[in-house]
Structure 1
Amino acid sequence: MKRLQISYLLGYVTVQVKGIMPERFIQTCVNKQIAIWNIEKTDQHTCIASLAKKDIQTIKDLAHESEYSLKIIEEKGIPYIYKKLLRQNYLLVGIIIAIVSLFFLSNIVWRVDITGFPKELEQKIMKTLKGYGVYPGAFMFRIDSSSQLQQQLLHDIPELLWIGIEKRGTSVQLEGVEKIIVDKEKEVPPQHLVAAKDGVVQKIFVSKGVARVGTYDYVKKGDLLVSGYLLDDTAIDEDVAEENKLVAATGEVIARTWYEVDVTIPLKGNDEQLTGKQLRKFYLNIFNIDIPIWNFSKVDFDLEKKETIEHPLFFLNWQLPFTLVENIHSEKEIRSWERSKKLAHEIGKKQAYQELRLLLGKNATIISDKVLHEAIEHDKVILTLYITVEENIAKPQPIMNQTEKD
């Protein structure tokens, strides 16, 4: 069976041998190391047998040197099928077109299915996906990976709590959960508002509780700002329930606070920048061997950033054992730069402000700054800034005892 399969792949023929005692000719061929099988004697002077395509010329030479006649009566195997197809150009072209068409159609997005969302949100997701290049008719290998699409959607659509993306054959399927925001007022136990840091009080806004500090008072960290006791202990009867005079103090105490921020700014350096020039090359990766199929131009960038994207390929619903590899060559250049001490000072000030805003949040206001120390070391400007800020310094502190301690 194995020999027959190999013979079919390489091609074999069935020949007719005529002459006196044709079995002698068959034996001569066997003696010459020619593989022969399916030997059958049809009459006294005729035999038929099968042999490999590669041995045809050898057996013809032997027949020419003897008194036997040789005739090929049947040709079998892939080489002969291919030869017949070549004779029928229209059929061959049709088969090639059909295979290529099926290949391309198998790598095109035909459907984008979205489940688990209301109609309005589904339309928003579909519109966003279209902006990413995911829509019916797009090539599968031009679409980002499922994980990249998932991260982009979660970032761009705040209504999404979770979304899963899967590429199945010629369809992209999405399912997920909508983020449901429930505004539920949390019950807060009785509390004071105390100072989170040292500062000078500028403004006081009290929603509940009694203010215990005034404008321009200097407070230290931990000082009581707003009391959760509505009544003084000496002004109420002992029979009055404690819960009637205890509240969760809420409000804001805006105070001026101070920070020292150290920043270092280089006066010169080198940066890598992309010039915008790109060259895209495509390869067919078969058994880890890249075969160029598109854009044979030479990459002549002195410096480049190379990005490789591998796209799986499909035929109908089967993933093929080779992939389409896209190499993106982007030209880059190294630029040297220098800046003045004045410019470095301005950049350092902006950097200090940004760091402080990240630390304090958007509700804090920077009032002023003062340079405490400035030096230049190793082509770097080192600054120490003293920055004045207005911010809410009130933080809650649960009331643990029934007696307030000032």
Structure 2
Amino acid sequence: MKLKWSDWVLGVVTVNIRGGQPERLVNRALEGGLQLASIGWTGDGKLQFDVSVSDYFRLKPFLKETGCRAHVVRRQGMPFWLVKLEKRKFFIAGLALFFIGIYVLSSLIWSVEVKGNVKLTEEEIVEAARQEGIFPLQWSFRLADTDIISKRLVNKLPKATWIGVEKKGTRIIIQVAETTEPDHRELENPRHLIASADAVVTEIYTERGRAVVKKNAKVKKGQTLISGTLGGGAYTQTVVAKGSVRGIVWYEFNIASPMSQQVKVYTGEKKQKWYVVIGGRALQVSGYGKNPYEQSETIVEEDKANWKSISLPFGRMKQTVMEVHTEERKLSADEARAGGILQAKANVMSKAGSDAVIRDEIVLHEKTENGKVYMKVLFEVEQSIVKEMPLVQMQGD
């Protein structure tokens, strides 16, 4: 039976009639003003109908008159729903607390994001926003209108021409447009570009000044590559020489590479510690005691709570303390040689610059002695060979 709203509020029961005179019972009940619905016979030959809770209690005299007995097989409506709720107090209380918690969490500001800032630091903007009441764990309803906050922030931060404040759920997004200032270039004195090392020129590009060497030319350290002097005689002019020059430079390294190395090995033994994280603080809840291992490595995993797409300022953290021990690993001569050359290449790159390219490596001498491989290696490197040299201008009387 599909209940009407009024029927659901009053409550309806479905009744099976046993014994007596069921047809006469129905007639007498209807004559007595009772509202019966869905009257019919069940598969096992019993009369069944739906009746409101109030009419069910008025059915008793008619049952007695007709010699019938009533058995309730289904209960529907608010009165029975309330009885079920009465039996589930803790569930209802938990459900209520859940919705209250959701409401409270959604009424707080959980994060403040700053976008568009270049010259202004995020700390400056966040501090100004804090003074206007925008900070994590602030109640949303305590904030002023976003247009008002935007104007106040512009007054507090003169370097910003416009600041937009937008509230998205539990996030506040502060969009900053900064004032555009002309670039203040430092004054540069006239100069030459000279070679920083002995080299063979592989590439030269002159932006300003006069190139005095060509590609494939051998140059000495300190030799002028791009001159800052133009013209001659009375028409001499000095400029700030600009350009790029690359060349082949040679580096010689003496390498002593050991044929054994200490390696770290995990034993499989470990100990775990769990923490509850609230804000920037962590409270340990398990895994108490000192570190039982002589050598160990600690791996930290933090898992923050999330609600929808928002990261909440609490969660849990796991620290896994893993036992390790050190073993000595023997290397072959080839492995020791490769390790030594790799380390030498790293040293070459640190000296030659990040844009350098190692073109070739030549082993000039090699011997194995006292558990080490000794080598003299020559590296051929293509790199920038430019160095600035200021021009001193002579002034006459």
Q: Shorter-chain-normalised TM-score: which range?
A: 0.3 to 0.5
TM-score by length of 1: 0.46
